[in-house]
Amino acid sequence: MLSYQHGFHAGNFADLHKHLVLSMLLEALNKKAKPWSYFETHSGRGYYDLSSEQAQKTGEYLDGVAKLWGKDQSALVNGYLDRVKELSLGEQLTAYPGSPMLAAMAARADDRLHLMELHPQEIAELKRAMRRFSQVGVHHRDGYEGVLGLLPPKPNRGLILIDPAYEVKDEYLQVADFVAKSLQRWPNAQLAVWYPLLSADRHEAMLTKIAATTESVGLYDSRFIVAEPQERGMYGSGMLLINPPWQIDQQIENELPKVLEQLDAQAPELVTNWIRRSA
């Protein structure tokens, strides 16, 4: 299905969770001089105008990134907000970077990015947003098939971000299958799987299958909860890290509770769990 467009949700609480964890992962990759490869299965458009009709219709960013704007923050959160400010071209919050943009802004000259997007409108905007980055390849193709076709990559260290819209029920198990196939082709890859927390709890079957179909690799899960479970809509955001870098668990557990406190959420809570530590 191709009905989902992230412009309605850019900069919301789930983006805060996903993009702060992504910032930690990219920072960890950049600690070594050796170049890295970055892949994204569902890239979106990369850049979001917060004055657009989509963003203004929902106003979700007002309960997300806008809550952090103009306040004293940690070095990590300030680094993330600096990226947002660079696009906003000033102190006023007018634009928001998607994960492809955050990765491209963190990339060095020898790093390589491969961005997949199937939606015809989103791919056109993604190509426009990425024009200034010579390290980036943009691919108009199915994200799962496209990434698998490029593995193992050169450089041979790096990250795959998997964040579909989960518009159809079987997407959860499709993600689990993709994770297993990716690790077969690229065993030392780090993978980050974003998923929505919904009352149906379909993510639990996905996590169980990932644990059952992968061996030895570390699996670290974080859940960024803003409300009690409800019949409709997300009550939180989940991120599963596979082969996570050293000490990222400590970073998540130190940083994200402070972010949650600033959101004035109904029922803020960070829940973390090592599903399996690496062998």
For residues 182-196, average pLDDT: 98
The residues near 262 (Cβ < 8 Å, ≥ 6 apart) are 67, 68, 71
* Distance, CA of 190 to CA of 245 (rounded, Å): 8
Q: Which of 49, 63, 82, 163 is catalytic?
A: 163
Structure tokens at 224: 């960024």
Is residue 132 predicted with pLDDT exceeding 70? yes
Shortest CA distance to 50 belongs to which of 92, 22, 80, 19? 92
> Helices in 111-222 by DSSP H: which ranges?
120-129, 143-148, 171-185, 203-213
pLDDT of res. 223: 98
Catalytic, 163? Answer yes
pLDDT of res. 63: 87
Handedness of CA 219, 220, 224, 228 (dihedral sign): positive
Count of Cβ atoms closer than 10 Å to residue 143 Cβ: 23
Computed over every residue of the chain, the mean pLDDT equals: 93
* Distance, CA of 194 to CA of 224 (rounded, Å): 11
Where does the pLDDT of residue 91 fall: very low under 50, low under 70, confident under 90, or very high at 90 and above? confident
Shortest CA distance to 267 belongs to which of 245, 239, 244, 234? 234
The residues near 267 (Cβ < 8 Å, ≥ 6 apart) are 225, 226, 227, 228, 235
Helix (H) or strand (E) holding 3: none
> What is the DSSP secondary structure assignment for residue 62, as one 8-state letter?
G
pLDDT of res. 165: 92
* Distance, CA of 176 to CA of 155 (rounded, Å): 24
Q: How would DSSP label each residue in 84-109?
A: HHHHHTSSS--EEE-HHHHHHHH--T
Handedness of CA 57, 59, 65, 69 (dihedral sign): positive
Break the chain into its structural domains and give their ranges: 13-46+100-276
The answer to pTM > 0.75 is yes
> Would you identify the CATH topology of the domain 13-46+100-276?
Rossmann fold (3.40.50)
For residues 233-247, average pLDDT: 96
Only one residue has tokens 């668990």, namely 249
Where does the pLDDT of residue 55 fall: very low under 50, low under 70, confident under 90, or very high at 90 and above? low
Task: Read off the pLDDT of residues 263-277 as tens digits, 9 standing for 90 and up.
Answer: 988 899 999 999 999
Task: Say which range, 2-16, 91-105, 232-246, has the weakest mean pLDDT.
Answer: 2-16
Where does the pLDDT of residue 3 fall: very low under 50, low under 70, confident under 90, or very high at 90 and above? low
